[in-house]
Every structure is written in structure tokens, then in C-alpha cells.
Amino acid sequence: MRQELMQRIPHQTISEQVGEINAVLRGHYAYYGVAGNLRSLVKLYRVVERYWRMMLCSRSWAGRRLTWDAFHQIKERTPLLKPKLRLPYGKLQALAAL
């Protein structure tokens, strides 16, 4: 995730933030979502999740009380894209056989 994106979107609404973050995540998953790379994608997801929460906490004095439970409620309403393999093992083996 590019830090420029996270520094550019803090004053947008939460739904706009999620839209931009998900667009970047979708591209990252499409490029790096090959078999054997799921652990790295999950790590990226966790880093983005933590950084987004820190950004939400820094928006106002009220945001400093944003607990993880409250953050998970926000994520239920506006979810981040979960990591997904675009090229799983079966397809990768089929390509290797060619």
C-alpha cells in the first residue's frame, strides 16, 4: 500500500476511503495473487488494516477513542477486500505443464 494514498485520503468519508483502499488492494491482489504468496497477501491486509485504523484515530479528538471493536463495526459496514489468490495451485500446475 502506498503511503501517499493513506496521506491523501484522511479527510474523505469512510466509504470513499474504503473505495480507494480497495482499488489499490484489488490491483495488488491481482498482480501478486499467485500460488504460494497468500501469506504475504494476508500480511499486507493486516498492515493496511492497522494503518487505516491509525489514520481514523488521528482524524479528531473523538477518534482517539476508536477501539478495535468500534473499528471492526466500521469494517462490517464498509469491508476491506480480503486477500484472494488469482492464480491458485491447480491453474499454476496446468500452466507449468504446457
Answer yes or no: pTM beyond 0.75.
yes
* The three cell numbers locating residue 47: 498492515
Give the rounded percent of residues in the chain with a pLDDT score beyond 90.
Answer: 49
Query: How far apart (Å, rounded) are the C-alpha atoms in residues 33 and 81?
Result: 13
Question: What angle do the packed helices 38-57 and 68-77 form, to 10 degrees?
Answer: 110
- Average of per-residue pLDDT across 18-27: 94
Supply the pLDDT for residue 3.
74
Q: 10: which residues sit within 8 A by CB, 6+ positions away?
A: 17, 55, 58, 59
How deeply is 32 buried, as exposed, middle or buried, from its count of CB atoms within 10 A (0-12, 13-18, 19+)?
A: middle
* The three cell numbers locating residue 45: 491486509
* The three cell numbers locating residue 29: 491482489
pLDDT at 41 over 70: yes
